[in-house]
Structure 1
Amino acid sequence: MVGILYLENGLSSHLFTEEQVAVLRLLASQAAISLENAALYREAQETQERARRAAEELRVSYDMIPAQAWNTQPDGLYPAFNKQWHDYTGISPESARAGGWVDSYHPEDRGKVVRKWTELVQTGTAGEIEARIVRHDGVSRVFLVRGAPMRDETGAIVKWFGTHTDIDDLKRVEEAQEVLARAGRLTALGELTASIAHEVNQPLMAIVTNAATCLRWLSDDQPNVDEARQAAERIIRDGHRAGDVITSIRALARKSPLAMADVDVNAMIEDVLVLTRGEVQRHGITLHETLRSDAGAAVGDRIQLQQVVLNLVLNAVDAIGLTEDRPRRLEVSSERSSQGKILIAVSDSGHGVDASRMDKIFDAFFTTKPGGLGMGLSICRSIVEAHGGRLWVSPNDPDGSVFSFTLNAVAT
């Protein structure tokens, strides 16, 4: 067998047979494969460890979220909740995954939550709902429950994620604000009793007068049908007028949800001035209306905006009523500002607001009226700001104050 000089892979120079060289080559190849496998194994272990650490970091972060969080499989089953949820509800992970999560909701809210969740899973869309969740000690609080799908590059849902945010305190504040706002409306209506009676009485008396006139025209030996028809038309007109007054009063008094729509600003102001006409006349006040035709429409809740104007007009009447040494003048104006806003102003000739109090008069419970609650202007400011506007006061020339506020105009 022929010997060969083997110098491969840095081995010392020796004379080997062909069989020995083949064995050496096989051993070298296996050693290289073993080294490669060992490197791959180490890399796989490192990757697995990194994945384990990432999963642990995600779990810890998930539990540290300052809200209750959860996730489910693509079909909405087998939910997993974070520690916040389990600590709050006292429900174990095993029970939650088996469907016990439904028991975390108040019995009266479970049905609507299940229906909403079924709808989201079936449509594959994100959504939210308000519902009461029962704490482990039996106390129920209102939460905003949100759920949203996570999709892969093909658009398929791979997981659902959701959160529960405690909004119970916020709901209580909103309810308190609604109670205060309604109290403000009822207080204003109480102050308007004489004016309301006057405004309703006028069309009723006109109806009676026109009805008598109509009967007289029809009772003559030669009935005047045309005159009787005109009297009947006036009855209809005055009947509608009385109905409009009652409708406005009921709208201001009732608890109604926010209804954002296009509001004709001048028409809204006119409706308020109809209600306050008797009060203005009773105090011997001269009313000036400067309602620009180009003021246009604003985006808002008509009833709430009427409440703002009503409060400002009544405050102006009170301020003017305290004066004896100057003309009693009230002006209500509207115009389109250069910034595309609608500007509404109520100006009076009263004693004006003390400069040191201008920053305080919009604060809740601050009042200059004996026996006043100090909520009227605070509620007005809240309403205006909720409509994206601003309410402020400035001195009037030569006497009194000007209360002005802006509203967002309807885009044209």
Structure 2
Amino acid sequence: MMSVNRYRLKHLAQQGHPGANRVQFLLDRPDRLIGLILIGNNLVNIAASSIATILCIRLFGDAGIVVATFGLTLLVLIFSEVTPKTIAALHPERVAFPSSLLLKPMLTLLYPVVASVNFITNGFMRMLGVNPAAAGSQDALSSDELRSVVNEASSMIPSSHQEMLLSILDLEKVTVEDVMVPRAEIAGIDVQDDVKSMIKQLSQSQHTRLLLYRGEIDDAIGFLHARDIMQLLTKNNQETDKAEIIRSARDIYYIPEGTPLNVQLLKFQRAKERIGLVVDEYGDIQGLVTLEDILEEIVGDFTTSIAPAPSETAQLQADGSVLVEGVANIRDLNKEMNWQLPTDGPKTVSGLIIEQLGDIPQYPLCLRINGHAIEIVESTDSLVKRVRFLAEEQTP
């Protein structure tokens, strides 16, 4: 009974399995089930001990007490304890479901005795701070426990499905800052450009939505959708003015930095939005996040990404080292290379190194971060452009 998988049991009970329903009824109050089984078990054991002692004394005299003690102990261990309980532990459902046919009516028949015993034992347990009635509420799994269940079920779940399930569980640990397109890489159109240049940028862009701004990103006006501009051009016979383009811009949806991805996914759904600008506590634009960015965290890359893929920012060298661009995203590198770089601070390799050193290095040097030996290959006045992650055999 106690070895039955509770979640499979609940599934079978919901499917209307009669044996599962009986077992679930008995396990709802394990104190009563244990009381019933132990009453019968101890009654039989004590009775068997008394009968065996009387028989052995008649057959062997005073030595019959020793014979009865050791003989009955051996019989009980083999045929009443080790063998049946091992079989039941290995095949819990095959034993529990038929056993419930006997145990459930016995519980009804012996309920006064079971209730009396439980009243006394539960009183002692409450004195020890244990509430037997709360046993059924301890079946809920935490996210870490659920993650372990998914990992252990790898033989029954395709690896791609397993990765998606684990990614969903990790959404609450990832924020919009981890997946956003950095401010410097946001594709946009300056409203101060001429109309032809604006339309050309929109038609040649690989993205269907572009940010419309005035002079600089912080002075954002709205998002231009290629479909809206094409409809506008068709309506005006390929001629339109800047005012009409500005009016066609859609309102900007702002996202506070630090928002977990699972929360933002729900917000996108409720607001019926697909794109937004990430802003800090002062309202300054930090980056851009789309619905596709969040979905790719679950299912992997399936669209053309604004940011370069990790394979474009990390190149394996012949000597086993890895040449990495400074703008490479740390989380992407950890996934691709199976590294353990810290992700609770800066999002790029350049930012991580600058934080560790407390300054922007102006010449090549080496450092170690979380066990990774890193050589700075190239840097500028504002950032680290390229680094080399040394292989273990290259580490001094």
TM-score over 0.5 for the pair? no
Q: TM-score, normalised by structure 1?
A: 0.26
Q: Relative CO higher for 1 or 2, CA cutoff 8 Å, sep ≥ 6? A: 2
Is the strand fraction higher in 1 or 2? 1
